Structure 1
């Protein structure tokens, strides 16, 4: 029965505040509803974290692509997980790779990639990319579609 797949979710349909840190955030998962190989894309165009040195906010456009195995991440839990970075101090590289590694740990996908397209800090945009595994043969993997930073040009 379809509803049984969702019976253990604690965050969906409830009023939940943002977790105080990524380590405290619960990434809930749901049984993959499809036995075929396919790709899921999660996009967070307004991701924020904090610079660990200056305490100033940092902003990124994140694109997570993954081919699930047995589990998919529940989207509200993912949103709250990303929101937990809002007051988390870490460099761009640690935030981007940490998100990917946590997803790999929680849902064990067949393949995952993340593109962290960070807005300039000190005049230098930083893009961070991480990949886990190999995409299954025959799965359509589109370009992430985020153009390189051009400034006001």
Structure 2
């Protein structure tokens, strides 16, 4: 039993009771951000973990700031991420409205496009808000 007398809840379009819509859902996905530069990798068979404890962005619905830690773990192939360029890329999120899930997946997409790693994982651990804390993880390849 689902607690609703056996009836399934009805879904009405893409807008929720809270007023979230497709515009909110897509916010920040295609915003132009600084390039993540790379440098040629000189070694094989090792992994890199980068922890970014000062991630900030804006909630696309409420315009309130979001805070979190982004952890990037990857195995480089022919190129490594240049850290200053990565820092400038991450700091650019401060001014865009984007949901946690979209930010983590966008960061993964942009890292993969930049350095073409053997594999990569991006984890976003976001500060509690309203009594809830979120951890989002995205991997390449899936």
Residue in 2 aligned with 1:102? 110
TM-score (norm 1): 0.70
TM-superposition CA deviations, 1:65-109 (whole Å, max 9, x none): 000000111000000000000111010000111101110011100
Contact 1:22 1:85 in 2 (8 A): no
**Structure whose alpha-carbon radius of gyration is higher:** 2
Q: How many residues matched? A: 113
In the alignment, the residues of structure 1 paired with residue 74 and residue 116 of structure 2 have an alpha-carbon distance, to the nearest angstrom, of: 10
2:64 to 52, 56, 67: 56
Alignment root-mean-square deviation, CA: 1.5
Aligned-residue offset at 1:122: 2.2
Any unmatched runs of 5+ in structure 1? 1-20, 135-153
In the alignment, the residues of structure 2 paired with residue 37 and residue 131 of structure 1 have an alpha-carbon distance, to the nearest angstrom, of: 18
Residue in 1 aligned with 2:41? 32
TM-score (norm 2): 0.75
After superposing on structure 2, the runs of 4+ consecutive aligned residues of structure 1 that deviate more than 6 Å are: none
